[in-house]
Amino acid sequence: MLERELKLGAPAAFRLPDLALVTIDVASADAVTEKLKTTYFDTRDLRLTRWGCSLRYRIGQGWTVKLPGPLESNGDLLVRGEHVFQGEPQAPPPAALDLLTAYLRKSAVHEIVRLRTTRQMITLKGPDGTPLAETVQDDVAVLDGRKIADRFREIEIELKEAAPETLLPAILERLQAAGAGAADPTPKIVRALGMRARRPPELEVEELAPEATAGAVLRRALALASTRLLRHDAGIRLGTDPEDIHQARVAVRRLRSHLRTFLPLMDIEWAGSLRQELGWLADELGAVRDADVLMDRLRKHAGALPPRDRNAGAQILALLAAQRAASMQRLNATVHDPRYIELLKRLVESARAPQLAPIAAEAGMLTLPPLIASLYRNVRTMVDDFGQQPTDDQLHKLRIRAKRCRYAAEAVTPVIGRRARSFARAAAALQEVLGEHHDAVVAMQWVREHAASGPLTFVAGQFNALELTAANAARAVWHEAWRAFDRKKLRSWM
């Protein structure tokens, strides 16, 4: 479940106002008061808290894991994944710890703080009784043994899935009119632990000045991609959203691309070993992701079939679903393999302190553009060798090279700026056209190998005809995307 909440500070004299008619969407506002006793667990270095995670046991509610939300900013709104587990209070259940694998990496957790909270809660419901939001006032006591070490008060507005867009601003206006403070997304656990919980996570994505060294640019690129992988590890384990596998695969692809493109900045043996190990993970992620992409394409085709052919279409989709399930089973085994945990440890260590060559200490704006110019020249040579009709395989290899250009340009944007960003956008546009072509070619190949026989032959032919049309359409425009990418103006900074 995705938790969306806004936290506000509150002075000692604050009292929750009446919210029954805060908007026309709210038909009732039921108020209750309850006492909560909560124990939080973390590593000794507060790794979970610093990453934006939490692991807690609350009497009467069981265990809860909260995971950091999207990398993109949500303003003052705190967006986190929330997952509840049953278990005894003495130790976290294995399923809860499993979701935190990317951050814990087998490190032990122990009790770090206990809170006692008096909660006043108003539940806002729509005319049909559907919950829209919960507004609470929490008076929190931080315990040190039997003594109270600190106290604080906060207001939370937690939005439910059915909440209309107008509800949050209306509640916020009412609360602040009653004396509530400004928005403050700080979680309770951070307030309770103080400054040591406010330290940055293990991996920081640095804000770089234009004069930053090439090594600093590389560290930032590795940290950004490694963080993306760690953020989506729990989603792979849950298996509920294919986007988590997609994003994890993108993270691994970026890491492998950086380790190759910026190899002159690093110890060659160190970078090669890490890249090879990432290749193992890339293969497992790719098998599932490719099946997801193919499933999306064939599902659209199946939806357009005439009624008499839909059963055959469903059978083809079932064949693909079985293949995807087998790939997902292998991926699940992979992320529970000690080898994978060791890889995560290496990534964190590598992003924090990559093994750099002396040239990495030089200015990035001077050292990095020639590396990307070399990538471009390789692409240029490849296209020159295509002839009048490039093969499907040649276009696929061009797509891979364009993607490397894009990833490299995005990595150097902090020191190069707008010109690198424009080059990356053009590379992405070329990559998109070639990606559509490749996906269509792969779809045709899969259908021929798995469904082009027996009673499925006719529908398989329909699917292939649609994919052939898509492949031909992409082939017809790829050169236009190439010309846009090949403009001399886009390379003036190299």
- 139 and 248 housed in the same domain: no
Q: CB of 52 within 8 A of CB of 65?
A: no
Count of domains forming the chain: 2
- 9 and 156 housed in the same domain: yes
Pairwise CA distance, residues 321 & 327, whole Å: 10
For residue 143, the enclosing domain spans 2-197
What integer pLDDT is reported at residue 5 of this predicted model?
86
What integer pLDDT is reported at residue 75 of this predicted model?
65
- 282 and 384 housed in the same domain: yes
What integer pLDDT is reported at residue 13 of this predicted model?
86
Phi, psi for residue 42 in degrees, rounded to 5: -165, 175
- 170 and 219 housed in the same domain: no
- 308 and 413 housed in the same domain: yes
Longest pairwise C-alpha distance within the chain: 81
The number of CA neighbours under 13 Å toward the Cβ of 145 is: 1
Does a structural domain hold residue 206?
no
- 421 and 448 housed in the same domain: yes
Residue 297's identity, in one-letter code, is R
Domain termination site, one of 139, 162, 197: 197
What integer pLDDT is reported at residue 72 of this predicted model?
57
Does a structural domain hold residue 75?
yes
- 254 and 175 housed in the same domain: no
Domain termination site, one of 197, 223, 250: 197
Nearest to 368 by CA among 410, 427, 430, 428: 410
- 264 and 293 housed in the same domain: yes
Cross-strand bridge partners of residue 142:
115, 150
Burial 288-308 (b: 16+ CB within 10 A, else e): bbbbbbbbebbeebbeebeee
What integer pLDDT is reported at residue 154 of this predicted model?
93
Instruction: For strands 2-9 and 28-42, give the pairing.
Output: unpaired
What integer pLDDT is reported at residue 120 of this predicted model?
94
Q: CB of 361 within 8 A of CB of 213?
A: yes
Walk along the chain (494 residues) in steps of 10 and give the mean pLDDT of each run. 83 88 87 95 96 95 90 67 92 96 96 96 92 93 92 92 91 92 89 93 92 97 97 95 96 98 97 97 97 96 92 95 97 97 97 96 96 96 91 96 97 96 97 97 95 88 95 96 95 93
Q: Residue 85: which H helix or E strand, with range?
A: strand 78-85
DSSP state of 134: E
CATH of the domain at 27: 2.40.320.10
Pairwise CA distance, residues 422 & 296, whole Å: 30
Pairwise CA distance, residues 196 & 45, whole Å: 9
Q: CB of 301 within 8 A of CB of 313?
A: yes
Pairwise CA distance, residues 66 & 2, whole Å: 9
- 345 and 460 housed in the same domain: yes
What integer pLDDT is reported at residue 473 of this predicted model?
97
- 218 and 193 housed in the same domain: no
Domain termination site, one of 163, 197, 231: 197
Q: Put residue 439 in one of left, alpha, beta given phi > 0 → left and psi -120 to 50 → alpha.
A: alpha
CATH of the domain at 262: 1.40.20.10
What integer pLDDT is reported at residue 454 of this predicted model?
83
